[in-house]
A and B are shown apart, each in its own frame.
Chain A
């Protein structure tokens, strides 16, 4: 039988769509891990970026440190955490994977948030202050909305990297769509690994597309531009 017929067979076999190794559950596992990671990265990286951007102090140092950290290969971070006995077996590998991936996702979000906050026009900020807004109000009503497109560019870059890397989490015992790929590679089952790779690619495309829509929805109306602006990651980075 031709290779692609066998792949089609794999996708139409009903046992692959249910149970502990079924596509829906593993898809959910990968989504669960990715969403958790992006949430915490947004909390830490975004939070720090907002504080540094608002006060304007120490930001460049933090941004440079964050970017230097991006050179660390994720596979190294994942495997290193996964062989530490205190972390490795927690929640079926979820803990090790989520720590490594969060560390990876923070730099792009931090950098973009900081840059977004600094890009806010000084005149706009002054006008807001002149109207009697307090520091907190300036942050909430002026700086934060205007920084949204930048923050979201960071979230999109981070999310694409996180989904890509959560595939590698399967190598260190977490079970998600990457498990098909890794198992297939380890057992020389090219049909399994190829099918898994297709699923992973579909998931990545879905995440990228839904974040594009979310960015548009969250961007203040006057800042929206027609066309395909924002389709590209602000600065393509490590995955």
Chain B
């Protein structure tokens, strides 16, 4: 069967806005893409957090570090995703690999996470820190037990934005041969049918929504004292 025949069997000859039979017929493929999407996003945000928090603490403690850290993170953030995937080519050997995609995706989370963490640490009331010092906390203990917990609402706000950003960006990795749900989008475009694109769009938005709800839930557990207050700054 030629590819054209496969498409007309799957999708029919007309191109309606949405065709359910595609979803039921292609479910295993869609599921695979969804799983890859979740994996790519989770790893990127996870590594992003592990790298960002120590860097943010350093940037917050030592003013000398702040400039370079924000400089590098902003540059990574400003470079368009597709360009960054390609620029990493010489580093990762020009193969569509998880490494290429993850390095770039992590790069995008850094500015968001570091920015929010530093803002959160800056916002810790001096009274709280002074009280910790008066109680005999060492600087490290004060950081771990006082400053970082009090900065958690900001850190969570950063993680939420970073997660939404990464889930959106993963679709672009379809152009370098990965893509998660982005593969549905490029497939729909290649064969000129709406349905796979809509599937990719809807599932990607749903994934972002569910991830955000989970993070809000996690924040309520981790920051019980902030439950009654608005924790996110409305800075757009």
A interface, CB within 8 angstroms of B: 3-4, 63, 68, 70-77, 79-80, 82-83, 108, 111-112, 114-115, 150, 153-154, 160, 163-165, 167-168, 171-172, 178, 181-182, 184-185, 190, 193-194, 196-198, 200-201, 204-205, 208, 228, 231-239
Contacts and interface: CB of A to CB of B under 8 A. Distances in A.
A239 B176 contact: no
A71 B209 contact: yes
Interface in B163-214: 164-165, 167-169, 171-172, 174-176, 181-182, 185-186, 188-189, 192-194, 197-198, 200-201, 204-205, 208-209
Contacts of A154: 236
Contact of A80 (B82, B165, B174, B198): B198
Nearest to A209: B78
A29 to B, nearest CB: 15
A21 B85 CA distance: 23
Contacts of B4: none
A-B pairs, 5 with minimum CB distance:
A164-B80, A79-B189, A76-B201, A197-B83, A197-B86
Interface in B133-178: 161, 164-165, 167-169, 171-172, 174-176
B80 A108 contact: no
A239 to B, nearest CB: 6
A114 B234 CA distance: 10
Given A71-B209, A231-B70, A235-B235, 7 more contacts: A79-B197, A80-B188, A80-B194, A80-B201, A193-B89, A200-B79, A204-B83
Contacts of A77: 201
Contacts of B181: 73
Contacts of A114: 236
B115 A172 contact: no
A238 B165 contact: yes
Contacts of A178: 82
14 contacts: A71-B168, A73-B204, A83-B15, A171-B189, A181-B83, A185-B86, A190-B94, A200-B80, A201-B83, A205-B78, A232-B70, A232-B111, A236-B111, A236-B165
B116 to A, nearest CB: 9
Contacts of A185: 86, 175-176
Contacts of A115: 234-236
A236 B75 CA distance: 12
